[in-house]
Amino acid sequence: MEKFFINGHSPLKGEVNISGAKNAAVAIIPAAILSDGVCQIENIPNINDVTLMAHILEQIGAKVKMINKSTFEIDTRYINSYVSSSDSVRHMRASCYLLGALLGRFHKASVSLPGGCDFGVRPIDQHLKGFSSLGATYSIEGGLVNVSAERLVGSSVYMDVVSVGATINIILAAVKAEGTTIIENAAKEPHIVDLANFLNSMGAEISGAGTDSIKIKGVSYLSGTKYSIIPDQIEAGTYMIATAATRGDVLIKNVIPKHLEAITAKLQEIGVHVEEFDDALRVFSDGALRKCNVKTMPHPGFPTDMQPQITALLSIANGTSIINENVWDNRFRYTDELNRFGCKISVDGKVAVVEGVSALTGTSVRALDLRAGAAMVIAGLAAYGTTVIEDVKHIERGYENIVEKLSALGADIKKVYVPDDASVLKAL
């Protein structure tokens, strides 16, 4: 088992480059299924979720060539199957985008029910509602979601909940449908705009992405394209908070400051300095950290994917902070792990009460999921002494070269292979 060892309590200092956005990449790679040409996609983060998504495309006949470490050339013209049901598919939430993409291309898709991080029920009813509005029928049998349509015809879809995944899937299914589709109450996250820009660069006619009403005029042909993915808002936010928690001073480069406004505003409320440049932010923290209340919301609200990280930071602020999780039902399981550092966090349903403490002490913890794992790294960097984090595979799903990037900022962090009891016993 691979573990992170962190000797904490030294300030992060220097510059860090933010990679391409995970959640844009895992939507744009399957969106290439809709292209009638070859797509060259740049600024792809080198993370496990992306490798898995590329592999899933190859399993159904796509050719994915790595041009360099952050550029893929994807040729989906010879895809020969609308069925995607491997173990890889089951392990990844974003594999549900194959439903929209394959339905859009073949008018048929059979895809395993998706997995992903576990923060409560993760339904796909809004995805299916969207497909039905376009004329598709569906069934769920033996762990497979089957959708099919004689014809896909544009229509109006009102989403009952703001869902990133459903908005993306409906765009994918509608982009080559007959006529015009309008998605009302659509999600507005930056990666939805990025997906629409990618599809438009191939000749799609999508307008309104980034607002709650998206209009998609169906087209019959999408050319190949060359496209560069936006920087990762959540990776940037994680480095912003790690800098604040260690009382550091870091220039966070290759970001879109507009995408980080909600995080910047909260950090300033906490007493952290944030200076904005065209495509960089300088974050530094030298005074006291103040309590503040946080409510997670769909974009442009405070992102749920930054909730564990800001909870770790508020654990060492003066006073008591209240965190309301408004997107997921069960996203506070990691607080038991944070409390091992000496944090004082109590949870009641979707509300956490964080009583600030003066210092944290290194300990052994688990990364329960990707962002929970990021919170453990932040707490470990801030804590006195040594922290050991298990299950770092979750962290590596979404953070490119995190050990190298933090080391370059002066952190004492190492990834170490530690044989687990089972492999030690086997070797005896």
Q: Could you give the residue numbers annotated as active site?
A: 117
Q: Enter the DSSP assignment of 229.
A: P
Is 144 or 408 the residue whose CB approaches ligand EPU more closely?
144
| Interacting residue with ligand EPU among 11, 135, 165, 248 (CB under 6 A) | 165
Is 178 or 212 the residue whose CB approaches ligand EPU more closely?
212
Cβ-proximal residues to 47 (8 Å cutoff; 6+ apart), any chain: 19, 22, 396, 397, 398, 399, 400
Give yes or no for residue 170 binding ligand EPU (CB under 6 A).
no
Give yes or no for residue 93 binding ligand EPU (CB under 6 A).
yes
Residue nearest to ligand EPU (CB): 165
Is 158 or 277 the residue whose CB approaches ligand EPU more closely?
158
Distance (Å, rounded) from C-alpha 198 to C-alpha 222? 11
**144's torsion region: left (phi>0), alpha (psi -120 to 50) or beta?**
beta
Is 227 or 284 the residue whose CB approaches ligand EPU more closely?
227
Question: Is 392:417 a contact under the CB 8 Å cutoff?
Answer: no
Give yes or no for residue 210 binding ligand EPU (CB under 6 A).
no
The token duo for 36 is 């009638």
Give yes or no for residue 238 binding ligand EPU (CB under 6 A).
no
Question: Is 29:5 a contact under the CB 8 Å cutoff?
Answer: no
Query: Smallest distance from the beta carbon of 374 to ligand EPU, in angstroms?
Result: 9
In one-letter notation, the amino acid at residue 357 is V
Question: How many residues belong to the site for ligand EPU (CB under 6 A)?
Answer: 25
Give yes or no for residue 117 binding ligand EPU (CB under 6 A).
yes
Give yes or no for residue 394 binding ligand EPU (CB under 6 A).
no
| Interacting residue with ligand EPU among 41, 56, 98, 164 (CB under 6 A) | 164
Is 174 or 289 the residue whose CB approaches ligand EPU more closely?
174
Distance (Å, rounded) from C-alpha 278 to C-alpha 115? 37
Angle value at C-alpha 250, between 10 and 415, nearest 5 degrees = 55
Give yes or no for residue 371 binding ligand EPU (CB under 6 A).
yes
| Interacting residue with ligand EPU among 31, 34, 54, 94 (CB under 6 A) | 94
- Give the three-state DSSP class for 368: coil
Give yes or no for residue 123 binding ligand EPU (CB under 6 A).
yes
Give yes or no for residue 305 binding ligand EPU (CB under 6 A).
yes
Query: Smallest distance from the beta carbon of 164 to ligand EPU, in angstroms?
Result: 4
Q: Which residue has the tokens 């592999």?
A: 55
Distance (Å, rounded) from C-alpha 307 to C-alpha 295? 9
Is 323 or 383 the residue whose CB approaches ligand EPU more closely?
323
CB burial readout 305-327, b (16+ within 10 A) else e: bbbbbbbbbbbbbeeebebebeb
Give yes or no for residue 161 binding ligand EPU (CB under 6 A).
yes
Which stretches does DSSP call E strand in 126-169?
Answer: 137-141, 144-148, 156-158
Stretch that binds ligand EPU, among 101-109, 163-171, 194-202, 276-284 (CB under 6 A): 163-171
Give yes or no for residue 30 binding ligand EPU (CB under 6 A).
no
Question: Is 140:146 a contact under the CB 8 Å cutoff?
Answer: yes
Site string (315-354) toward ligand EPU, x via CB under 6 A: ------------xx--------------------------
| Interacting residue with ligand EPU among 6, 18, 21, 26 (CB under 6 A) | 26
Give yes or no for residue 209 binding ligand EPU (CB under 6 A).
no
Give yes or no for residue 313 binding ligand EPU (CB under 6 A).
no
Residues 49-68 touching ligand EPU, rule: CB under 6 A, are: none
Q: Long-range contacts made by residues 256-264, C-beta under 8 angstroms, separation at least 24?
A: 256/190, 256/230, 256/231, 257/281, 259/190, 259/230, 259/231, 259/233, 260/233, 260/236, 261/300, 262/300, 262/301, 262/302, 262/303, 263/237, 263/302, 263/303, 263/306, 263/310, 264/240
Query: Smallest distance from the beta carbon of 300 to ligand EPU, in angstroms?
Result: 12
The token duo for 416 is 């170490």
Phi, psi (rounded to 5 degrees) for 282: -100, 125
Which positions lie near ligand EPU, rule CB under 6 A? 23, 26, 93-94, 117, 121-127, 161, 163-166, 187, 304-305, 327-328, 370-371, 398
